[in-house]
Amino acid sequence: MSERRQLYKGKSKTVYEIGQPDELLVEFRNDATGGNGAKHAVLDDKGRVNCAFDAFTMAILAENGIKTHWLKSVTDTEILVRRLKMLPIECVLRNRAAGGICKRLGIERGRVFTPPIFEFFLKDDALGDPIITEDHILMLGLANKEELVAMRALTHRVNEILQPVFAKVGFDLVDFKLEFGYYQGQLLLGDEFTLDGCRVWDTQSGEIYDKDRFRQDLGNVIHFYKEASKRLGIIIGEVPKWS
Ligand code: UDP
């Protein structure tokens, strides 16, 4: 791989330019953050687990017709991706109530949403990533109507694809967050799909297997990440051969 130049260091991933104008290298680090960065820890093996988990979910989505930024694994913590122009918007899909929506609407944790609920959030750390309406997004000029419709539809489609994958191994996919961006005029799924950005509960026991273990100090975060991965058939540290 040619010379790399750090482009951006996020809370748990670092993005590098690698000399190819249309591609970037993404490194999954061991850092865990919560409360918009207020809580921080370094958790052994987190980068490897998240990298493998992301490869698994992105591959399933691609097989099912979702266009993503994911190109290939490079090492057990690094992937090559298409370079997207990201929209500063988070798309959240909820199959059950947890986290923010319980506080916001005063509803009980675990309530099932039929149909699932979709929400937009503004990606802005200084503002604390507030929930926003389509009108807000249009007013701010962050995306156009067509893009909003596409992001909503793609997020529902991702749920239709992944919910059964989790259900098959005894997990409830409670909610998740997606981010999209543009690549050569096409809207693609970017960012990541790992246990850092979704909620996954054991269907029988209700045990939490996602980043709420870290946010709520439930302990054994990476143990549970690895257990969830194992149940889904994800092999951590396996790097597919270069094509
Ligand atoms: N989420 C995320 N990044 C964020 C905010 C939320 O990945 O900056 C994910 C979170 O892990 C959960 C879903 O989006 O799976 C919905 O989160 P919620 O709105 O309930 O936010 P929270 O209360 O967890 O901050």
Whether the pLDDT of residue 216 is over 80: the answer is yes
Beta strands in the chain (DSSP E): 5-9, 13-17, 23-28, 31-34, 39-42, 70-75, 78-82, 85-86, 89-96, 112-122, 131-132, 171-178, 180-183, 186-189, 198-202
Q: Counting atoms of ligand 1 from 1, which one is nearest the CA of 98? A: 20
Question: What pLDDT is attached to residue 243?
Answer: 36
Name residue 220's amino acid: N
Question: What pLDDT is attached to residue 2?
Answer: 64
* Position 239 confidence tier, pLDDT thresholds 50, 70, 90: confident
Residue nearest to atom 7 of ligand 1 (CA): 197
Instruction: Residues 5-82: name the CATH superfamily.
Output: Phosphorylase Kinase; domain 1 (3.30.200.20)
Residue nearest to atom 18 of ligand 1 (CA): 100
- Rounded distance, CA 24 to CA 15, Å? 7
The pLDDT of 196-212, averaged and rounded, is 98
Q: Per mean pLDDT, which range of 1-15, 66-80, 177-191 is the poorest?
A: 1-15
Fold type of domain 86-221: D-amino Acid Aminotransferase; Chain A, domain 1 (3.30.470)
Percentage, residues of the chain above pLDDT 70: 98
Tell me the average pLDDT of the chain. Answer: 96
85 Cα: distance to centroid of ligand 1 (angstroms): 22
The pLDDT of 19-35, averaged and rounded, is 96
Question: What pLDDT is attached to residue 6?
Answer: 98
Number of H helices, E strands in the chain: 6, 15
For 221, left (φ over 0), alpha (ψ -120 to 50), or beta? alpha
Whether the pLDDT of residue 240 is over 70: the answer is no
211 Cα: distance to centroid of ligand 1 (angstroms): 9
* Position 1 confidence tier, pLDDT thresholds 50, 70, 90: low
Question: What pLDDT is attached to residue 3?
Answer: 86
The pLDDT of 232-242, averaged and rounded, is 80
For the chain, domain boundaries? 5-82, 86-221
Residues with CB under 6 A from ligand 1: 92, 98-101, 129, 175-177, 197-199, 211
Q: Counting atoms of ligand 1 from 1, which one is nearest the CA of 176? A: 15
Whether the pLDDT of residue 7 is over 80: the answer is yes
- Rounded distance, CA 229 to CA 33, Å? 20
Residue nearest to atom 14 of ligand 1 (CA): 177
The pLDDT of 52-72, averaged and rounded, is 98
* pTM of the predicted model over 0.85: yes
CA distances from 9 to 110, 205, 206, 222 (A): 34, 37, 34, 22
13 Cα: distance to centroid of ligand 1 (angstroms): 17
Percentage, residues of the chain above pLDDT 90: 94
196 Cα: distance to centroid of ligand 1 (angstroms): 9
